Amino acid sequence: MKGSLLYEGKAKKVYHVNDHPDQLILSYKNDATAFNGKKKDQFEGKGRLNNLITSKVFQYLKQNGISSHFIEELNDTEQLVAKTDIVPLEVVVRNVAAGSITRRLGIKEKEIFTPPLLELFYKDDDLDDPLINDAHAYHLTGISEEDLDSIKQMALQVNEQLIELFKQVELQLVDFKLEFGRLQDGTIVLADEISPDTCRLWDITTGEKMDKDVFRENIGDLISVYETILQRLEEHTCAK
Ligand code: TMP
Ligand code: ASP
């Protein structure tokens, strides 16, 4: 079923699917990178954890009316997705100040954004994924005003759904990054992954950081933190 390698990214490999040109297999790697690849390490079991967490999150979003490229979990480290052309934008939604916005704008960590704040970054490693505005996005990606509006609306809906999901497992959703892709017919759907690599999650009770910041800031054991996220999500799904 798995065809040839199409692309290798920092956290995943992407394979063609034999006899299904409209599908791809995402294979999650154990590599962790931060600061555009300047900091790197490998964590045995990380690929499995992000694959299983992303699968659960996309299944939950589907149940709540948000469609994505996700089709099914194939095994511990791989998932089947619909092939899309990725729009080269990183759409970040922030509920609480953390990370780059605190450094860029001098906003104190933990300040609350009401309503949530949405930022666009241009997905280009050579340029270090710069922050851009809507006019830049139209020019750089050729996206229409209507499609960009619908991406923003979807991102805010995903935020509402994810706040609820993570609250049920005692986690505060601080911020996250989404990517969107176009199906062959041009429809834009949610794509890529949603995992502790791409979200900031803080324990509701202790405030402890439970995401890739433990690696970025050297403040904990990445695997045990990701394992806790998966366990909590599994208990939540079983309890339903
Ligand atoms: P930032 O504070 O570094 O801009 O990150 C905002 C959110 O986006 C955070 O949850 C981590 C996630 N993110 C990615 O998934 N990929 C990236 O390349 C970056 C920079 C951030
Ligand atoms: N994903 C980016 C990298 O691989 C940055 C980050 O997540 O901090 O370097």
Q: What is the pLDDT of residue 237?
A: 77
Give the ligand with the smallest distance to the CA of 12. 2
Nearest-angstrom CA–CA distance, 38 and 33: 7
**145-168 and 222-239 helices cross at what angle (nearest 10)?**
80
Question: In a structure prediction context, what are the per-residue pLDDT tens digits for the chain, which is 240 residues long?
Answer: 899 999 999 999 999 999 999 999 999 999 999 999 999 999 999 999 999 999 999 999 999 999 999 999 999 999 999 999 999 999 999 999 999 999 999 999 999 999 999 999 999 999 999 999 999 999 999 999 999 999 999 999 999 999 999 999 999 999 999 999 999 999 999 999 999 999 999 999 999 999 999 999 999 999 999 999 999 999 987 776
What local confidence, expressed as pLDDT, does residue 126 receive?
Answer: 96
* Peptide bond just before 116 cis, omega within 30 deg: no
Helix, strand, or coil here: 65?
coil
Please report which helix (H) or strand (E) contains residue 152, including its range: helix 145-168
Q: Sign (positive/negative) of CA torsion 26, 81, 153, 88?
A: positive
The pocket around ligand 2, CB under 6 angstroms, is made up of 10, 33-37, 212, 216
Among protein residues, the one with the nearest Cα to ligand 2's atom 6 is 34
Ligand 2 atom with least separation from CA of 39: 9
* CA 33 to ligand 2 centroid distance, Å: 5
Closest-lying ligand 1 atom to the alpha carbon of residue 200: 10
Q: How many CB atoms lie within 10 A of CB 208?
A: 15
Question: pLDDT value at position 238?
Answer: 72
> Cβ distance 150 to 188 under 8 Å?
yes
Q: What is the pLDDT of residue 161?
A: 98
Distance CA 235, CA 229 (A): 10
| pTM (2 d.p.) | 0.98
Phi, psi of 87 (to 5 degrees): -75, 125
Residues with CB under 6 A from ligand 1: 92, 99-101, 129, 175-177, 198-200
CA atoms of 206 and 171, how far apart (whole Å)? 10
